[in-house]
Amino acid sequence: MTHQFQFQCVLPNGIHARPANHLEQQCRQFECQITLTNHRTNNSGDAKSVLALVGTDTLLNDNCTISFEGADSEQACQTLQTYIEQQFPHCDEVLETFSDDSEIVLPQSLLRHQPHLITGKRLAPGIGCGVLVAMSQVDPQQFATAVHDDNEAQRFEQALAQVSTHLNHIIATGSHHEQEITSAHLAIINDSSFIDGVTALLTTHSTANAILAVMEKLCHQLEQSASSYLRERVLDIKDVSIQLLTAAYPTVLDNQAEFSLQQPSIVIANDLTPSQFLGLDKALLQGLVLTHAGSTSHTVILARAFNVPTLSGIEIKDCAAALNHHVYVDAQLGVLAIEPSNEVCGYFDRAITLANTLKQQQSQYAHQQATTADGHTIEVAANIACSVEADNAFAQGAEGIGLFRTEMLFMDRQQAPDEEEQFNHYREVLAAANGKPVIIRTMDIGGDKPIDYLALPHENNPFLGYRAVRIYPQFLALFHTQLTAILRASVHGKAKIMIPMIQSIEEIRWVKQQLAFIKQQLTAKNIAFDADIQLGIMVEIPSVAFIVDLFCKEVDFFSIGSNDMTQYLLAVDRDNASVSKLYNSLAPAFLRLLKQVVTTAHAHGKWVGLCGELGADSKVLPLLVGAGLDEISMSAPKIAATKAQLTEINFADSQTLFAQACECATIEEVEALLEQRHAQAQVKPILVTQCVFKGADFANKEQVIQALVGNLGIQGRTDDAYKLEEDVWAREAVFSTGLGHGFAIPHTKSDHIRHSSISIAHLDKPIDWMSDSGEVDFVIMLTLNKDQGDQHMRIFAGLARKLIHESFRDSLRQAESPEAIIAIITEQIGL
Ligand code: PEP
Ligand code: MG
DSSP secondary structure letters along 613-629: GGGG-TTTHHHHHHTT-
Give the atom of ligand 1 at the shortest distance from the alpha carbon of 403. Answer: 5
The pLDDT assigned to 296 comes to 54
Distance 585 CA to ligand 2 centre (A): 14
Q: What is the pLDDT of residue 25?
A: 82
**Ligand 1 atom closest to the CA of 565, numbered from 1:** 2
**CB of 232 closer than 6 angstroms to any ligand 1 atom:** no
Pairing of strands 127-134, 121-124: unpaired
- CB contact at 8 A, 118 and 335: yes
Residue 611 CB less than 6 A away from ligand 1: yes
Distance (Å) from CA 254 to ligand 1 centroid: 52
Ligand 1 atom with the smallest distance to the CA of 383 is 5
User: DSSP strand E in 544-605: where?
Assistant: 557-560
Output the pLDDT for position 5: 95
612 CA distance to ligand 1 middle (Å): 6
H or E, element range at 335: strand 335-338
Rounded-to-integer distance, Cα 682 and Cα 145, Å: 70
Ligand closest to 448 (CA) is: 1
Write the pLDDT tens digit of every residue in 479-505: 999 999 999 999 999 999 999 999 999
- Taking the CA of residue 561 as reference, the ligand 1 atom at the shortest distance is 3
Q: Are 751 and 775 in contact (CB under 8 A)?
A: no
Q: Is the CB of 540 under 6 A from ligand 1?
A: yes
Amino acid identity for residue 126 in this structure: G
What lies within 8 Å, CB to CB, of 108 at 6+ separation is: 702, 705, 725, 726, 729
Residues, Cβ < 5 Å to ion ligand 2? 540, 561, 564
Q: Is 64 assigned a catalytic role?
A: no
219 catalytic? Reply is no
227 Cβ below 6 A of ligand 1: no
Say if ligand 1 is within 6 A of residue 240 CB.
no
* Distance from the first to the final alpha carbon of the chain: 89
Rounded to a whole number of angstroms, the CA Rg of the chain reads 31
Please report the DSSP string for 698-748 in residue order: --SHHHHHHHHHHHHHHTTS-S-HHHHHHHHHHHHHHS--EEETTEE--EE
Task: Give the containing element (helix H, strand E) for 8.
Answer: strand 2-8
Is the shortest distance between the CB of 635 and ligand 1 below 6 Å?
no
Residue with the nearest Cα to atom 10 of ligand 1?
564
- State the pLDDT at residue 807: 93
Amino acid at 628: G
Q: What share of the chain is helix, strand, coil (3-state, %, to 5)?
A: 50, 20, 35
Centre of ligand 2 to C-alpha 561, Å, is: 5
447 close to ligand 1 (CB < 6 Angstrom): no
Q: What backbone torsions phi and psi does residue 210 show, to the nearest 5 degrees?
A: -65, -45
Domains of the chain: 2-90 (3.30.1340.10), 108-136+259-337 (3.50.30.10), 140-248 (1.10.274.10), 371-442+488-681 (3.20.20.60), 689-829 (3.40.930.10)
DSSP class of residue 498 equals: E
- For ligand 1, whether the C-beta of 507 sits within 6 Å is no
Q: Does any ligand 1 atom lie closer than 6 A to the CB of residue 407? A: no
Instruction: Give the span between the Cα atoms of 601 and 549, in whole angstroms.
Output: 7
Contact between 677 and 648 under an 8 Å Cβ cutoff? The reply is no
Q: Are 529 and 502 in contact (CB under 8 A)?
A: no
684 vs 88: CA distance, rounded Å: 53
Torsion angles phi and psi, residue 185, rounded to 5: -70, -40
What's the confidence (pLDDT) of residue 177? Answer: 64
Is the CB of 562 inside a 6 Å radius of any atom of ligand 1?
yes
Query: Is the alpha carbon torsion for 414, 420, 423, 425 positive or negative?
Result: negative
Q: Is 405 in the pocket of ligand 1 (CB under 6 A)?
A: yes
Q: What is the pLDDT of residue 418?
A: 93
Could you confirm whether 611 is annotated as catalytic? yes
Minimum CA distance residue for ligand 1 atom 4: 561
Sheet hosting strand 127-134, strand order edge to edge: 116-119, 335-338, 326-330, 127-134, 265-269, 285-290, 310-312, 121-124
Task: Please give the pLDDT value at position 789.
Answer: 63
**Ligand 1 contact via 574 beta carbon (within 6 Å):** no
How far, in Å, is the centroid of ligand 2 from the Cα of 563?
6
Catalytic option among 3, 113, 205, 298: 298
Q: Verify whether residue 664 is a known catalytic residue.
A: no
Element (H, E) at 565: helix 562-570
For ligand 1, atom 6, the nearest C-alpha belongs to 561
What pLDDT score was predicted for residue 142?
86
**Residue ranges in the chain whose pLDDT is less than 50:** 94-98
Asked if residues 738 and 379 have their Cβ atoms less than 8 Å apart, the reply is: no
Binding site membership of 610 for ligand 1 (Cβ less than 6 Å)? no
Dist. CA 655 → ligand 1 center (Å): 26
C-alpha neighbours within 13 Å on the C-beta side of residue 647 = 11
445, 540, 570: which to mutate for ligand 1, most atoms within 8 A of CB? Answer: 540
How far apart are the C-alpha atoms of 200 and 585, rounded to whole Å? Answer: 59
Q: Which atom of ligand 1 is nearest to the CA of 559?
A: 5
> Which DSSP string corresponds to 34-88?
EEEEETTTTEEEETT-HHHHHHT---TT-EEEEEEESTTHHHHHHHHHHHHHHTG
- Which residue is closest in CA terms to ligand 1's atom 3? 561
- Cβ–Cβ under 8 Å, residues 403 and 383: yes
Alpha carbon dihedral 701, 703, 705, 707, in 10-degree steps, equals -150
Q: Where are the alpha helices (DSSP H) in 297-418?
A: 298-305, 342-366, 389-395, 407-410
> Ligand 2 centre and the CA of 538: distance in Å?
8
Q: Which of 397, 407, 451 lies closest to 640, judged by CA?
A: 397
Q: Calculate helix-pair angle for 562-570, 588-603, nearest 10 degrees.
A: 120
Would you say how long the chain is, in residues? 831
Q: Ligand 1 pocket, 446 CB below 6 A?
A: no
Single pTM value for the model:
0.59
The protein residue with its alpha carbon nearest to ligand 1, atom 9, reads 405
Question: Which of 383, 470, 564 should be mutated for ligand 1, with most atoms under 8 A from CB?
Answer: 564
Q: How far is the CA of 563 from the centre of ligand 1 (A)?
A: 5
The two beta strands, 437-441 and 494-499, are parallel
What is residue 97's predicted lDDT score, i.e. its pLDDT?
Answer: 40
Model pLDDT, residue 305:
63
Atom of ligand 1 at shortest range from CA of 612 = 3
The whole-number pLDDT of residue 206 equals 94
Q: Residue 384 and residue 248: Cα distance in Å, rounded?
A: 40
- Cα 639 to Cα 632: distance, rounded to the nearest angstrom: 10
Å from CA of 614 to ligand 2 middle: 12
Over residues 651-694, the pLDDT tens digits come to 999 999 999 999 999 999 999 999 888 767 667 889 999 999 99
pLDDT score of 95: 41
Ligand 1 atom index nearest CA of 611: 5
Kindly tell me the burial class for residue 690, based on how many C-beta atoms sit within 10 Å of its own C-beta (0-12, 13-18, 19 or more).
middle
Active-site residue, from 747, 755, 762, 792: 747
Specify the amino acid at residue 812: L
Which residue stretches of 87-233 are H helix?
108-111, 152-173, 176-190, 192-201, 207-223, 228-231
Alpha carbon of 97 to those of 228, 288, 296, 424: distances in Å?
Answer: 11, 18, 6, 33
Residue 257: the pLDDT is 65
- The preferred substitution site among 538, 629, 635 for testing ligand 1, maximizing ligand atoms within 8 Å of CB, is 538
DSSP notation for 415-463: S---HHHHHHHHHHHHHHHTTSEEEEEPP--BTTB--GGGTPPP-SSGG
Secondary structure class of 116 (helix, strand, coil): strand
Kindly name the residue from 27, 319, 611, 691 that is annotated as catalytic: 611
Distances (CA, A) of 769 to 262, 655, 700, 735: 41, 52, 8, 12
Q: What gap in Å lies between CA 793 and CA 799, rounded to an integer?
A: 10
